[in-house]
Structure 1
Amino acid sequence: MFQQNYLYWFAGIILLAVAFLSLRDKNNPRRFSTGLFWGLYGLTFLLGDWAYHLAAQWVGDADAGKRYLNISVGAIVVIMALIAGFGGVRLGSYHQRSETQRKESATRLGNKLFWPALAIPIVTVVGVLSFSYIPGLQQALFGPGNHATLITLFSMTLGCLIGWGIALKLTHEKAGQSLQEARRLLDSIGWAFILPQLLATLGLLFTQAGVGSAIAHLTETWLAVDNRFIAVATYAIGMAVLTMVMGNAFAAFPIVTAGIGIPILVLQHGGNPAVMAAIGMFSGYCGTLMTPMAANFNIVPAALLELPDRNAVIRAQIPTGVTLLGVNVFLLYWLMFL
């Protein structure tokens, strides 16, 4: 049966290929550190149950083997952070066409250039619907059980492969050049590419460390949360600020809601939890607009568009984020207690 690990291994193989090409790129002044960065990142995708079993056999104890392997992965992350922090990921040479050739190709292809990009969401949607509504298809490929996440990832991967094939057919490029382009994009984005995974881990650490309880204690001790408006403003602004720190409103939501939303707004002031959750998440998204930690939304587009200012997207979004946050405070105050 097809397993989710296969997709991770596929991603790991691509990253290792990128690392190998980086090591061979003599035009990159930091080719060894760049190759090491992407190689270590690819290695983390190749790890799985087999690595735990191997570590358990080597150590002689399953729990100890798992602990050592987890420590090793943590060490890999620290090394990657040091490489990125010291500017170890740099741009190199990617065997691209000249500017004139690219313009001629773009003129020749016209709107056909959008076909590969459109193939990805179309195939993903068709795949998800097919596995959901064609009897026996899901079980035949993935086995019994609920495979919602695997279905989405599998369909998206299939869409990417089909889009890749269409792109090769349209541009008449060699398959190896697409790997060079993948390397160029990864090098352009740099450390920000791994930020979503690190922030997801940070959210788990905050939850385990009891940050929500600490926020509740500080709020009740230092703020006049007996005042309904102050409590509402604290919750909405807290969602935005913690989202800016963590880069993810979904990670900030359980922490702020457990510390302020439920104990103060719902239990103390009798607010509607459904309204609190909806507008609270919207307030978190306001923070997303104003932080480089939300790399997928703010840093990656600037890198892909090769903007001279990496924070250009954030600067353009700050007025919108601040305005929406103010509107959310008043919406939450008016609607939560109807």
Structure 2
Amino acid sequence: MLKIEYVYWLIGAWLILCAIYNIRERRRSMAAFWAVVGCAFLFGDAIMAAGAAHTRWPAQAMGTGVIALGLLAASGTMQKHDSTESERRDSAERLGNALFVPALTIPFATIVFVLVLPRLSLRGIPLVDSTQSTLVALGLACVVAALAAMLTTRAPATQALSEGRRLLDALGCVALLPMLLATLGGVFAATGVGEAVAAIVGMLIPVGSPLACLLAFALGMVLFTIIMGNAFAAFPVMMAGIGLPLLIHKHGAAPALLGSLGMLTGYCGTLLTPMAANFNIVPAVLLELRDQYAVIRAQWPTALALLAVNVILMAVLIFR
């Protein structure tokens, strides 16, 4: 059975390879950074098993690793490696629109794998765990896209690995931000932030008004997404604090409509924040824009317009 752990191991092996590339070129800080992250991917299962057995040292080691990542990122010694402008121009002119083939392969292959893999079995055993099929499909799609890139560019596998390392180094510690922010939402929910939000909202707004509760929920989704950079991280907090107790239980809002439109409202905050690095900062880095906030400056009118539309849709639909 294909499991998500296999995808993690593949990512971990590649990160260790990136560390080896960097240590050979004497970029020691960058090598240490990716080596720590790679070990987390490779040995995550062992760390969880040790934690379940009440062995403290793996958790302490991982905590030390997280601190080390923060110190390395803040040290300013993580030198980036990039190709020359002439190399990029020559490659772009030679390949033209064929450059889009590997990038488009990822979403299309993911859709195909998501639809096909859960239906496959071997001797009565499902080929992939249905609860992990989407992530496994995404991992397989990335492998297929890498093969498509090599076929499109006619580059050897070693060059593919080297260029992948170069791109990862160009992103640096920003590449980890989406994972950290997604984890932050679970931490907030587990530590009772949702209940604290509910108490604050109860003191500030008239909870007997469904429209007031709706505005608090919508603006809270946007605000928490701006802070945490991820609507998935904001959603459990706002749903626990306002959505469930006030909108659904007190005012009878439709849960499915509130959930879907609430998430879409949170994405308006994604367009406004540098914390959503994979959407707003990474493109600026890859395109080598002079203004690292240029993407956000171009998006904010769209974000505000979508926010207004979403609030109107929720006010009209969720209380019917």
TM, length-normalised to structure 1: 0.84
Q: What is the 5 A alignment of 1:164-243?
A: 164-243=146-225
Q: In the aligned structure 1, how far is the partner of 2:68 from the partner of 2:131?
A: 34
The aligned residue for residue 305 of structure 1 is 287
The 3-state SS of whatever aligns with 1:268 is coil
Q: What is the 5 A alignment of 1:8-87?
A: 8-26=8-26, 31-51=27-47, 63-65=53-55, 67-87=56-76
Alignment of 1:89 with 2:78, yes or no, is yes
The aligned residue for residue 314 of structure 2 is 332
184-193 or 213-222: bigger deviation: 184-193
121-130 or 312-321: bigger deviation: 121-130
- Whether contact under 8 Å (1:239, 1:280) holds in the other structure is yes
The aligned residue for residue 59 of structure 1 is none
Size of the aligned set, in residue pairs, is 320
The 3-state SS of whatever aligns with 1:307 is coil
Unaligned runs of 5+ in 2: none
Q: In the aligned structure 1, how far is the partner of 2:300 from the partner of 2:70?
A: 28
Q: In the aligned structure 2, how far is the partner of 1:292 from the partner of 1:105?
A: 30
Unaligned runs of 5+ in 1: 57-61
TM, length-normalised to structure 2: 0.88
Instruction: Report the identity percentage.
Output: 44
Q: In the aligned structure 2, how far is the partner of 1:40 from the partner of 1:306?
A: 27
Q: 1:286 aligns with which of 265, 268, 293?
A: 268
111-120 or 8-17: bigger deviation: 111-120
The 3-state SS of whatever aligns with 2:207 is coil
The aligned residue for residue 248 of structure 1 is 230
Q: In the aligned structure 2, how far is the partner of 1:166 from the partner of 1:113?
A: 10
Q: 2:251 aligns with which of 269, 286, 291?
A: 269
Q: In the aligned structure 2, how far is the partner of 1:177 from the partner of 1:45?
A: 23
Alignment of 1:5 with 2:5, yes or no, is yes
Alignment of 1:123 with 2:106, yes or no, is no
* Amino acid across the alignment from 1:32: R
Structure 1 residues 253 and 123 mapped into 2: Cα distance closer, same or farther (>3 Å)? closer
CA shift, 1:102, in A, is 4.2
211-220 or 321-330: bigger deviation: 321-330
- Whether contact under 8 Å (1:189, 1:300) holds in the other structure is yes
174-183 or 193-202: bigger deviation: 174-183
Structure 1 residues 86 and 154 mapped into 2: Cα distance closer, same or farther (>3 Å)? same
Q: What's the CA shift string for 1:170-212, capped at 9, x where partnerless? A: 3333322222221221122222211122112211211111011
Alignment of 1:147 with 2:130, yes or no, is yes
The 3-state SS of whatever aligns with 2:102 is helix
Greater than 4 Å deviation, 4+ residue runs: 98-102
Instruction: Choose 1 or 2 for highest CA Rg.
Output: 1
* Amino acid across the alignment from 1:263: P
* Amino acid across the alignment from 1:110: G
Structure 1 residues 335 and 41 mapped into 2: Cα distance closer, same or farther (>3 Å)? same
Q: In the aligned structure 1, how far is the partner of 2:68 from the partner of 2:226?
A: 25
The 3-state SS of whatever aligns with 1:270 is coil
